[in-house]
Structure 1
Amino acid sequence: MTDQKSRESVLSFSKYCMILGGIWRLELPWHNVVLTTAYRIYSKFVRFFFPLILFSMFAQFILMVTYENAHKDQETIFKQLGYITCLVMVQVGAILCQQPRLIQIISYAMLEEKKIMHCSDEDILLSHTKQLRFCRTCNVVLFAVTTGAGVAILLENFWIRHEISKHNRECNASLEKPFVYELYYYKLDKENHEGLLLMVNALADFVGVCLLMSTKIIFSSCIIFGSSLLRRTQIRLRKLSSYGLKRLVLEHQLVIRFVQNLNHSVKYMILMEYFLNSLNIAAVSVQVMSFQDINMLASPFLSFGILFVETFVLGWTANEIKVQSLALSDALYDSPWYEQNKRIKKAILTMLVRAQKPLQMTIGPFDAMSTQSALTIIKASYSYITLMAN
């Protein structure tokens, strides 16, 4: 199979998303000194700007909660809470993406992909193509709902500000126009510096969307690639005589190490997502229930889309790791093991026993992440909704 699609990379889309988010720490796809310097400046700007925005939002949230009329502005408070929980996950994800362990995992995955792309085994190339299509679908969906939500937030704010300006002109009122993100501006006059503050909000929205998109896509892509490695090992095990057991035992050990290192790198991120996604879904739900204008529902519904897609893509891909690791025993049974000598049969039996212990992505130090865990997040969200509503 020489189809160009089979030669593409599972991680290529993730790579460019991370570059857009300013968190790519490996070799850049260009060798232009000007572009490289500009990217490094942009990357440093993102690392400074985004935490500053998050700190400013949290400071403003504290002021809003302690304000004497906070009970009259619950809609804004819950919206701020939803944004903060989401951006905390984004910031932690961005930090994890730049840790040496995960960078090594990405480097190893890119190296193994080159081997797959130059492989002559038709079955391996076909399996890689299927995984590539699945990964591309997940990435496109994540990209669409994330950018859609970012644009919807800006358009919603534009609509609100337009309506308030219209009301102020018609009624000679002086209602304050909200911004996309409620930031702590210290003593800055919002009216006199409206253009500057709108630009800061738009830039914060752009950086947040880029970081959110890049962190989610790289995590899901690495997990999908782990599943792809397991499928490749299954194919080779079924062709035991062609590859040799010693080579396949070593390959199995490398796949186990890859999945374990990946799990060690992202398990606490998964734990945080498990908790914060529940809280965020609840916060968005309360927003939806409190809205009276249908024009204001686009942003919350797209936020729902992000959370549901992230949760179930993560659950589904993590579940595939477990399923495909257990399927190695079936591949061993389907191999021509009966044609081997006694020493190789004993080695196959040892490998078969090891394959009975599934590889899995865990929720922190707790249970394995799966589609069932994704449903548990939704159940937890319902509990938070009832608590917030009361």
Structure 2
Amino acid sequence: MNPKGHSSNYHMSYGKQYMTVLGLWPVTYTGVKKTLYDSYFKVSFAYFCLFVITQLIEAAINLHKSLGAFASVIGVTLGYATCVLKAHIIKSDKFVNVIHLIEENEQEITKSYDENIIEIYEKCNRFSKKFELIFLAFVLSGASLYYAEPIMEEKMQTQNITRSTAHNLIVSSWFPFDRNEHYWIAYTIQFVACIYGTGYIFFTQAFCLSILRYIVGQLEIMCYLFKNFSATSRMFMAAKHLAFTEKNQELFLKTLIQKHQICIKLVEEVNACLKTVILLDFGISSFQLAMLVYQLLHLSGFKQIAVFTFFLATNIQLCFLYWNGNEIFYKSQEIATSIQESDWNTYPTKLVKMMLLVMVRAQKPVRLNIGPMGNVQISALFQIYKAIYSYLCLFANTE
């Protein structure tokens, strides 16, 4: 039984489409198509990396001018710079293996003998897709405001007889030529780079978060299977045309243990891929958000709305990241509780002993790490927000 409308890549159906647009998806093209696809990614990614370097140069220049000038550059720059690392990780062999592991497991789930398993899986996917759409709406709204603001300023200046010779751009970045004299060239360069920047910010973050939500869904399925072991084991045997015997119950339990080990392995693989970028996010998010708040306090009008939208989008992805990390931590422990809530007292002695081993392992939760700093949990998110307040107090004292 396949989820309606999606015969494959159901969970990653959105991700597969938008990651292909950026050249990040591990496509199965061959020959000329594969060469063109790889070349497209390399050229576009190199262009984006060069643009991020010009932003960092501009940030270094503005740091010597004033805190306000520095704040106007560094907020978006940090977001773009982090995306460079995320894109590199997604293209790595380790992350491609994670994608293939999810694809293989999804094929098994969509052919499941139990409709409840498919329903849990679909529910998790619907939630993930809703988040992606909400996050996309905020990112596109903020990006559109950033793109439109310089053009609106230009129109206002053309109607003003004493117009300024300085022109506004989408974001601050360094150019090896006079940006005011060659304004539309500078704007076009930024527009193309920011299109990719917006794509990297949304696509890489949404895709990584959808994988975390996938893990939560797998843990929920494990909890369901262990809690309803008697009923699910009967369905398993009926689907396999096996007799309901103690030996076949043991076979089903061994299958569940293997699934549990696959969940643990998946978390370990994702952790190995993302722990560096999560550590970087944890380290710079508070500073980035503090810079955005500082901008909001010193801006007005159209630009303030654009910065506020970007501020909200950044907060949404942070909350979803740490909430899912928290869910993975507690759902992995919930497997032991699910076994306890089952009718384990009716199981044969050997099955009970095997269940106890699963409970012992489940009491050691699987977790995502912020490098050596701790775990991806709600408490870590609170630390980020506390640091924002500290940064703002520091900025207030340095003015």
The TM-score with structure 2 as length reference comes to 0.88
- TM-superposition CA deviations, 1:278-326 (whole Å, max 9, x none): 11111111111111x3222111111111111011010111111112111
User: Given the alignment, which residue of 169, 172, 181 partners 1:179?
Assistant: 169
Is the contact made by 1:315 and 1:374 (CA closer than 8 Å) also made in structure 2? Answer: yes
Matched residue, 1:362: 369
1:190 paired with 2:184, answer no
Contact 1:17/1:213, CA 8 A, preserved across alignment: no
**Matching residue of 2:148:** 155
Q: Name the count of aligned residue pairs.
A: 377
Partner of 1:4: 4
Residue matched to 2:391: 384
Given that 1:6 and 1:125 are in contact with CA atoms closer than 8 Å, whether structure 2 keeps it comes out as no
Say whether residues 1:337 and 2:337 are aligned partners: no
**What is the CA RMSD across the aligned residues, in angstroms?**
2.1
> Which residue of 2 is the match for residue 264 of structure 1?
272
4+ residue runs over 4 A deviation: 5-8, 33-38
Q: State whether structure 2 residue 238 is matched by structure 1 residue 248.
A: no
Moved more, 364-373 or 332-341: 332-341
**Is the Cα contact below 8 Å between 1:286 and 1:389 reproduced in 2?**
no
Q: Which residue of 2 aligns with 1:63?
A: 61
8 A contact 1:78–1:283 mirrored in 2: yes
Tell me if the contact between 1:179 and 1:198 (Cα under 8 Å) persists in the aligned partners.
yes
Q: Percent identity?
A: 21
Distance 1:84 1:245, change over 3 A: same
| Distance of 1:82 and 1:91 partners within structure 2 | 15
Could you tell me which runs of 5 or more consecutive residues in structure 2 were left unpaired when the two chains were aligned.
Answer: 237-251
* Contact 2:318–2:381 under 8 Å retained in 1: yes
CA distance in 2, matches of 1:359, 1:145: 31
Equivalent residue in structure 2 for 1:204, among 176, 193, 217 = 193
Give how far 1:37 is off: 5.1
Q: How many Å apart are 1:336 and its aligned residue?
A: 3.8
Secondary structure at the residue paired with 1:297?
helix
TM-fit CA distance, 1:5:
6.0
SS of match in other structure, 2:168: coil
Query: Are residues 1:130 and 2:118 paired?
Result: no
Looking at structure 1, the residues matched to 345 and 124 of structure 2 have their Cα atoms a distance apart, in angstroms, of 31
Which residue is equivalent to 1:81?
74
SS in 1 for 2:130: helix
**Match for 1:283 among 291, 294, 300?**
291
State TM-score, norm by structure 1.
0.90
Q: Matched residues in 2 for 1:152 and 1:194: separation?
A: 19
Confirm or deny: 8 A CA contact 1:6 1:129 kept in the other structure.
no
Report whether the alignment pairs 1:228 with 2:226. no
The separation in 2 between residues aligned to 1:61 and 1:304, in whole angstroms, is 19
- Bigger drift between 270-279 and 38-47 goes to 38-47
Does the 8 A contact of 2:73 with 2:172 survive in 1?
yes
Is residue 292–residue 311 contact of structure 2 (8 Å, CA) maintained in 1? yes
